[in-house]
Amino acid sequence: MPLPARKLGSQGCEASAIGLGCMSLVPGGGFYDPEGLTEDEAVAVIHRALDLGITMFNTSDLYGPYTGETVLGKALAGRRGGVVVATKWGPMFKDGQLQADFSPANARRCCEGSLSRLQLDCIDVFILRGPVPAGVSLEETMHELKVLVNEGKIKHLGLSEVSAAQVRACHAIHPISCVELEWSLFSRDAERDIVPTLRELGIGVLAYSPLGRGLLAGRFASTADLGEKDFRRWGQPRFAGEAFEHNRQLAAKVAAIAERKGCTPAQLALAWLLAQRDDIIPIPGTKSAGRLEENAGAADVCLTPEDLAELEAAVPEGAVQGDRYAGLQHTTYHAAYSDAIERLRDFKRDHVQLQRLLAKTPTLSRKQRRSLQAYYLRQNELIDALLQTEQIHRGLFTNDAHREEAQVRRALALSFAANCLLLVVRTALALLSGSLSLVIATLDAVLDVVSSIMLYWSAHQARQRNKYQYPVGKERMEPLGIIVFSVIMGTAAFQVIVEGVKALLSGAAPDLGGKMGIVVGGTLGVVAMKLALFLYCRGSPSPAVAAFALDHLNDVLVNGVGLAGAVLGARVAAFWDPAIAIALSLWVVWTWGGQARQHLVNLVGRSAPPDLLQRLTYLAFYHDERVQKIDTVRAFTLGNSYIAEVDIVLDPLMTLREAHDIGESLQVKLELLPEVSRAYVHIDYEYTHAPEHS
């Protein structure tokens, strides 16, 4: 049986009274459960929603990112009749930080990308998602969106997380059909701030988090029910300490009313929202078919004026404790922090500004200009790192671990396959040429295959977690594998040096004869493939992939210079071949010796660099106003990542629950830094004692 339909504003958009928010359906889609569903599971949930008569689906290019739209497009293929797809654009994660680009060019780029991923010719509702910083004009962007509407790529325009003034300004350029905002019995700020403007302009509402992020559905008996990395646990004050207990009691009152009405608490909360206006469509998110059916049933719950009055008395406006996000209220976040960090942006220098600065100093030498440019580029990096801490405080940061792991697995698989193929090619070339320089390349190829297996195994072991046998994980397996590999490479190189000395003394030269073309062509092919693999692997945060990148670069040099040695030894003078082989061997010893030394130092426990200690200090200092002092901040290597220890001083009369919540939420924030594998927060009431572990 189809759900009743509702008009979303006055521009002709119409969809089911209950929609589906698709954020949590894909990995990386939401903060509550970073794992998401598999593609088949997500498609099954969407198909069940269609079967229930749900026709409003709300997604974003940010979910995944991008995979949220892709999965929705696949699920709706062949079932598009009557369906309304709303997707958002604007913010996007870049280097772990949420950055927004509201330019006209990005509006068009995002629209065309969403059309492709959703497999649509026209997007039903294209929503610009804020917040848009004060002073940023959307006028040119709205004109570009208007052009996209005229081109038939967008049917309706929407906004999200914007002010009433911004709604008016955008609506004056092109009619806005709906505004997406958080609205529920537990979040009613919009009723004062923006809803009156929407009523005046005839703009509908897509209400997200209509169940108070699960509280109104009665899902949580305590904060222990939240996952360890759940954003609500540390990024939303309503789920912290005494506020959580207070809000849970409010939810219990709603549950009691629902029981008398013969419906579930979630259905009652959704029915209350539907009763506020006839152009509101709640878009609760869920990964469960059972919850989906429960939510759809809310459309059948009729509330009388007496029911609404009883709910108002049970949860009056302002009764909920804690704000929506950390960072919006002084109890959990320094208000001054945002201003202090934001002022750092003024000290960044983009390329144009840097060139202007250099133009003002014509007396500088070329070396001084390079040094000045390097200084400002480094300063930009440090500022970006500190800005990252603000993203963590506001719950807008992800270290994208699941995507990084997928990239690591791809790089390891590609490297292993290439090394197996190239071993066959190199062996044939060495046998054909008889060149000692190419023999070292063949020996290197044998070691490549062996090392690929070893590095893959050590990286796999590092990812395996058994908190009972290995409480701090097995991350040190990876650097240990690299150290062993470095020793093997060095030993093989020394053996080639010995053979090279013998060849120099004997004066024997490689005989390429008529095989020159095959040897040269085959070696150049090897060099090209290894160069491509180096470019693919470089810059990876994984030590195993970084080791492969170095190995691929070594192979480019070994094969290229080795080919030169073979040709020079055959055509110019015999000593060139062993001499170049010895030089290549010394290069291998030098590079892999450096790798071994670096990882040995990391295993010993080297102190973190100053910029990481600065970020740890910033996170701790601005974490909560109730933190009186920062006693100690230290971090040291545990393999290729860091262990962080932070000592904070709290009021000696503070309750254990408050102290626990402050310390635990800080620990979670510290562990969001990509470099930190584990953080320990020590809580004290004074700072005059002797340092621990001195």
* Residues forming the active site: 63
Q: What is the CA radius of gyration of the chain?
A: 31
Q: At what angle do helices 139-150 and 104-118 cross, to 10 degrees?
A: 40
Separate counts of helices (H) and strands (E) for the chain: 23, 15
**Count of beta carbons in the 10 Å neighbourhood of residue 167:** 19
* DSSP, res 3: P
> Under 8 Å CB-to-CB from 595, ≥6 apart: which residues?
482, 486, 547, 550
Nearest to 83 by CA among 59, 64, 106: 59
Nearest to 17 by CA among 4, 29, 33, 31: 4
- CB distance 591 to 550 below 8 Å: yes
Strands 91-94 and 178-182: unpaired
* Residues paired with residue 16 on neighbouring β-strands, in sequence order: 5
Residues 457, 459, 464, 468, CA torsion sign: positive
∠ CA 379-380-383, nearest 5°, is 85
* Residues paired with residue 632 on neighbouring β-strands, in sequence order: 647
**Count of beta carbons in the 10 Å neighbourhood of residue 141:** 23
> Under 8 Å CB-to-CB from 212, ≥6 apart: which residues?
184, 185, 186, 187, 238, 247, 251, 269, 320
Strands 14-16 and 5-7: antiparallel
Is residue 131 reached through a cis peptide bond, with omega within 30 degrees of 0 on the bond before it?
yes
